[in-house]
A = this chain, B = another copy of it.
Amino acid sequence: MTSSSSARRTTIIDVARAASVSRQTVSNVINSPERVAPETLARVQAEIDRLGFRPSRAAQSLKQERAGAWGLELNSAGFGRLGAILDIFLIELTTGAAERGSHVVPFTAADSAAPLPAYERLVASRVADGFVLTDTRRDDPRPAWLEAHHVPYAAFGRVWDDPGITSWVDVDGASGVEAAVHHLAGQGYERIGYLGWPEGSPVGDDRRSGWVRATTDLGLANPEWQARSTQSLPSACRAAAGLLDLLGRGAAIVCASDTLALGAWRVLLERGLEPGVDIGLVCFDDTDIAEALDLSSLHQPLDRVADRVLHLLATGPDPRDPAGGLLLPPELVVRSSSKPAGNRTTRKEK
């Protein structure tokens, strides 16, 4: 960095002087160009460009009584990192906010189990006009608090506690898994198992329900063909091994996450089976791992989620959408791990 300089940035007054108009006219050129004579407009605009003038955000905020920023709690799940999904979501959100003339202000709560003080600070100091919530959970204290304090918010993830709340967007895990199952069935697989998380997680249960629905619809249902595992690799390997014992070769597995898929992938390797040849594999969340392992996976449309969240923040919940928030379907990215089942007769040549 450099010595903090003395050179004051140019203000609206500098522009006004340079263009020989009042500062109000400069303001009009920026905010209501239609009220300014074309000739004046051009002259002032030229000075604005020449001097590189931009209104001070602080002065605007003060005058307009809005910060022009949305707060985003990082680490609201308490993992100390965003993870592959929120990582990308943050970028989409930041870009989308900029397109709408706003900023994103990330913050962390000292105690992720009791985050409200952090929200309160930002509201009280008027740093954020509202919030984007992520990692919503059952008994999440945030929506109720924000409602009570009349603070705008929109959630990436369902607001579970109150069906009356519609200011959320989520990815439709059930329909995603459903699509994956249909895809695998279309590739010729007839035994399609599910490797998911332990019961009780809303996201996990949602995804599993897609497997139940799709296999039932297709007449391929078998409640035995599933296993549950936490997000640790050893656990995933154990679960995948058990599931593979049940399913046998020529079957397919849909995994609730890429970590689970990594476990399954490892077991396949240990057994000399090749994904997409001996066993079909599709996982959720199109992360680095899925890409690296060339696994078919369900890609979350995070750009659209971010767009919708910003829209909700800007306009409030859509009254045409009274029954609930918006569910966006993930997109299946087909890679080599779900090649047509016919391929499995051909042995791999590596």
Contacts and interface: CB of A to CB of B under 8 A. Distances in A.
Interface in A230-252: 232-233
A236 to B, nearest CB: 8
A67 to B, nearest CB: 7
Contacts of A90: 74, 82, 90, 106
Interface stretch (A1-9, A18-26, A191-199): A1-9
A75 B107 CA distance: 19
Contact of A266 (B3, B107, B269, B317): B269
Q: This chain: how many copies in the complex?
A: 2
Interface string A150-161: 111110000000
Interface string A80-100: 111110011011001100100
Contact of A1 (B125, B167, B259, B288): B167
Contacts of A323: none
Contacts of A91: 74-75, 80-82, 108
Interface of A is mostly: mixed
Interface residues of A, number: 73
Interface string A175-189: 000000000000000
A4 B125 contact: no
A213 interface: no
- A-B pairs with lowest CB-CB distance, top 6: A5-B150, A58-B61, A1-B152, A54-B124, A233-B292, A54-B125
B147 A2 contact: yes
Nearest to A5: B150
A225 interface: no
A53 B106 CA distance: 22
A152 B5 CA distance: 9
Contact of A9 (B55, B126, B154): B126
Contacts of A53: 124
Nearest to A125: B54
A88 B108 CA distance: 12
Nearest to A51: B124
Given A2-B150, A87-B87, A56 B62 contact: yes
B124 A9 contact: yes
Interface of A: 1-5, 7-9, 52-59, 61-62, 65, 67, 69, 74-75, 80-84, 87-88, 90-91, 94-95, 98, 103-108, 120-121, 123-127, 130, 146-147, 150-154, 167, 232-233, 259, 262, 266, 269-270, 288-289, 292-294, 312-313, 316-317
A313 B81 CA distance: 24
Contacts of A55: 125
B67 A94 contact: no
Contacts of A62: 56, 58-59, 62
A52 B151 CA distance: 15
Given A74-B91, A292-B262, A126 B56 contact: yes
A76 to B, nearest CB: 11
Contacts of A154: 1
